[in-house]
Amino acid sequence: MTTDLPALPIRRSGTSDLMLPVLGVGCWAFGGGDYWGPQSQTEVDAVVRSAIEHGCNFFDTAEAYNGGESEKALGVALRGLPRERAIVCTKISPSNTAPATLIAHCEASLRRLQTDYIDLYMVHWPITAHSIHHFAPGATEVPTVAGAFATLQELRRAGKIRHIGVSNFGPQQLTEALATGAPIAVNELPYSLLTRAIEPTILPLCRARGVGVLGYMALLQGVLSDRFAALDELPEYRRRTRHFDSRKTPLARHGLPGCEAETMAALTAIRAIARRIGRPTSDLALQWAVAGEGITSSLCGCRNVAALHANLRAAATPLDPAILAELNQATEPLLAALGPSFDYYENPAHDRTQ
């Protein structure tokens, strides 16, 4: 084992018995695909093995990622390793949550992952007509929340899944899900220095209801790195959030002029702080993401072992409270400009989390 990597802190997810490292591996790129481009299985194998070796043993995938290829790649990488050492999370699309369909899709995920059980099984987006439309544009059926979560509890009793989670659920949707009696261990939500909208309402609600929070997009798909000097340099598919002007990005569906000036001002300030203390911007962003009150764990993708180890070092190193406060202050104007909606891909008038 490489000894120069510090140990990752472990946290309890809400009031559940699910224990997670503060950093998890986002597996969207696994299996390759149009969004992230090719990803070799050899690199996936190496990342997964090294992650487990160094305590970063939480892996987040979904049936929707690369048409199931992400689950397949993770399953291949875990083959031959002690299954109990890995915490595997996958997500079911809201369009597939009618009871019989949900069971069939869970079984399909189990086959792709080559495992007998899923540690954490999440509903990927809320079970609403608007949310379902993005996964299945022609769908006319909206499964019931009660039916979906009753089925998830059946799968849990059967040992197919160990914990139930949700993703991108706002206050009303989380309250409705909890009212079914399902024990919800985690709500996966977007959280980074540039995406702080969960702070005023849903994050405190999760804390109050004993639900852990798993942050995703800690680096906002590369924006919070030193790779791109200007926002226009990012690939177009990564410029679809309300940070960016939809008039310059045809793939964006929010239809708004965006907050490019505020985003660049925040990014410039973050980078200046990073330079002053001699750290990469991505390190500060990861440290900040795992330091939030009520945050159980934060996800970050990595394409190779070198990137994984850099992420591990950052996440395991506590952030100086004075620097944290300075970063908060630098990003407050952007938080105010973007507003309280944490569905960053949509116009707030069509927020899928409401």
Using an 8 Å Cβ cutoff, are 254 and 242 in contact?
A: yes
The token duo for 166 is 């949700």
Judged against a pLDDT cut of 60, whether residue 248 lies above it is answered with yes
Interatomic CA distance for residues 149 and 145, integer angstroms: 6
Model confidence at 167, pLDDT cuts 50, 70, 90, reads: very high
Residue 267 dihedral angles phi and psi, to the nearest 5° = -65, -40
**Beta strand residue intervals within 83-139, DSSP E:** 87-92, 118-123
CB neighbours of 336 closer than 8 A, spacing ≥ 6?
none
CB neighbours of 223 closer than 8 A, spacing ≥ 6?
194, 231, 234, 238, 243, 263, 267
Instruction: Please give the CATH number for the structural domain made up of 10-227+283-319.
Output: 3.20.20.100
Q: What is the pLDDT of residues 191-232, one digit of tens each?
A: 999 999 999 999 999 999 999 999 999 999 999 999 999 999
Domain definitions of the chain by residue range:
10-227+283-319
Q: What is the pLDDT of residue 139?
A: 85
Using an 8 Å Cβ cutoff, are 244 and 231 in contact?
A: yes
What is the arithmetic mean of pLDDT over 92-109?
A: 98
- Token pair 């090719």 in the structure block, residue: 38
**Beta strand residue intervals within the chain, DSSP E:** 10-12, 19-21, 23-26, 58-60, 87-92, 118-123, 161-167, 184-190, 212-216, 295-301
Tell me which residues are annotated as active site.
Answer: 65
Q: What is the pLDDT of residue 1?
A: 44
The pTM assigned to this predicted structure is: 0.96
Residue 92 dihedral angles phi and psi, to the nearest 5° = -100, 140
What is the arithmetic mean of pLDDT over 229-254?
A: 93
Query: Worst-scoring range by mean pLDDT, 143-147, 228-232, 265-269, 272-276?
Result: 228-232
Interatomic CA distance for residues 237 and 33, integer angstroms: 13
